[in-house]
Amino acid sequence: MAGPSAPAVIAKGLKHLDLDGHDLPPSPAPSSPSNGRKYALATELVYTDSGDQYNSSSVPIYQSATFKGGPGQEYDYTRSGNPTRTHLERHMAKIMNANRALVVSSGMGACDVITRTLKPGDEVVTGDDLYGGTNRLLTYLKENGGIIVKHVDTTKVDLVKQALSSKTTMVLLETPTNPLIKMVDIAGISAAAHEASPDCCVAVDNTMMSPYLQNPLDLGADVTYESGTKYLSGHHDLMAGVIGINNAALGDKFYFMINSTGCGLAPFDSWLLLRGVKTLAVRMEKQQESAMRIAHFLEERGFKVRYPGLKSHPQYALHNSQARGAGAVLSFETGSINLSERIVESTKLFGISVSFGCVNSLISMPCRMSHASIDPALRKERALPEDIIRLCVGIEDLQDLMDDLSQALVRAGAVRLTSDGFMALEVGDGETGKTTMVVDEP
């Protein structure tokens, strides 16, 4: 009897591969063009080939918890996989320069999935200027999970090297950090971590930059993750977290956690994120252009401004060596908690809110809001100024934003009038004291 034909053998071997060549549940359409051509990122953000049976221009929402059929079918239960979510994951992998992407219900959900691979006794090296939620999760793991957590100034590669050992299981980084806007040498630390411990997982929170401006996997990191709630979505109308991985085994571990805990992103939110990410390029370009102007505006008037686009930033060169832009988040100090509180309460266009990355401009006092869960003594130890104000610049008219910020500075009494306009108060001129505004980010 003749054996199977060559095409039949090939077909059998490829039967589990999807349209993008992954041995994973299929997407309703490939994320990249079928001819394999790679477009510029601004184009790839928008572009998808349509394989939908009705030639839909927008990827359909498969708003179903279950799928009919027996064992071995492509989808059975949305907790384990859903066509809309799968298409989003293909699309995100493409723009993150990752072999695989996974999407979950929030940015902290992504961080949780990543850290669930840790076991009692594992060592984690991380920064001393972390998002409050990340710090809270690591503290829990240290106190309840037997995880050893070492906080160091990750802006100094030598200090990181001193903290690394053969027992280091994970290095968790943020760059730029939030809210001190400090830069971390992703390539340098990744190389040092892998030299100290070849199996060490280097994970980078890339939320502040987004894949449009920075790609940690290209710099040697093993995992990149971010809150899709921020720039990827851009409208603060959904919660999402995105994880990008190149290592297949690591991707399988993360998927196991997602499937087991049921934290995968829901179909409708997946569709919203697919829609939002298409405008990432135009939003980010507008937002960082305005942020640069506002940063110069504040610096020229005597405020201490932290923004990677300013040449006065001590790590300006490092940031520009690994990123393609400065982003749209900046922070500045007034020298007085009371002054800072009055500035925040005096703005009209800048809404008082935690988070960032939205088309609307936001203002906050991190020590009273997003980082309030960090003990005040620890904030002091980590040199986090209690008076620091964070601005998250949106897409509104630049002049309107500058006018709003100017009137807030004047109304708050944070400046002295001059013949040319106004300047920041000299150190010691401002008031000091306690503030009562406390809005902790969940």
322-377 confidence digits (pLDDT tens): 999 999 999 999 999 999 999 999 999 999 988 899 999 999 998 776 666 667 77
What is the 3-class SS of 167-189, one letter each residue?
A: CEEEEEEECCCCCCCCCCCHHHH
Total Cβ atoms within 10 A of residue 358: 24
Q: What angle do CA 369, 370, 375 make, to 5 degrees?
A: 80
pLDDT tens track of the chain, all 442 residues?
445 444 444 444 444 445 455 555 555 445 555 555 678 999 999 987 767 788 888 889 999 999 998 777 889 999 999 999 999 999 999 999 999 999 999 999 999 999 999 999 999 999 998 888 999 999 999 999 999 999 999 999 999 999 999 999 999 999 999 889 999 999 999 999 999 999 999 999 999 999 999 999 999 999 999 999 999 999 999 999 999 999 999 999 999 999 999 999 999 999 999 999 999 999 999 999 999 999 999 999 999 999 999 999 999 999 999 999 999 999 999 999 999 999 999 999 999 988 899 999 999 998 776 666 667 777 777 677 889 999 999 999 999 999 999 999 999 999 999 988 899 997 545 444 333 343 334 4
- pLDDT tens digits for range 425-436: 975 454 443 333
Catalytic residues, by residue number, are 79, 131, 205, 230
99 three-class SS: coil
pLDDT of residue 284: 98
Query: What's 218's DSSP letter?
Result: G
Q: How much is the pLDDT for 373?
A: 66
- For 307-319, b/e burial (b = at least 16 CB within 10 A) is bbbbeebebbebb
Helix axes 107-115 and 248-261, enclosed angle (nearest 10)? 110
DSSP state, residue 334? -
Provide the H-helix boundaries in 267-415.
267-277, 280-300, 316-322, 337-346, 376-381, 398-411
Three-state SS at 216 = helix
Bond preceding residue 28 cis, omega within 30 of 0: no
Rg (CA), the chain: 23
Q: Tokens representing 274?
A: 């697919």
Token look-up 């008037």 returns 301
pLDDT at 53: 80
pLDDT of amino acid 137? 97
Q: How many CB atoms lie within 10 A of CB 39?
A: 13
**Tokens 């049976």 -> residue:** 53
pLDDT of residue 29: 46
Q: Cis peptide leading into 26, omega within 30 of 0?
A: no
pLDDT at 344: 94
Query: What pLDDT does residue 58 have?
Result: 86
CA distance linking residue 114 with residue 405, whole number of Å: 39
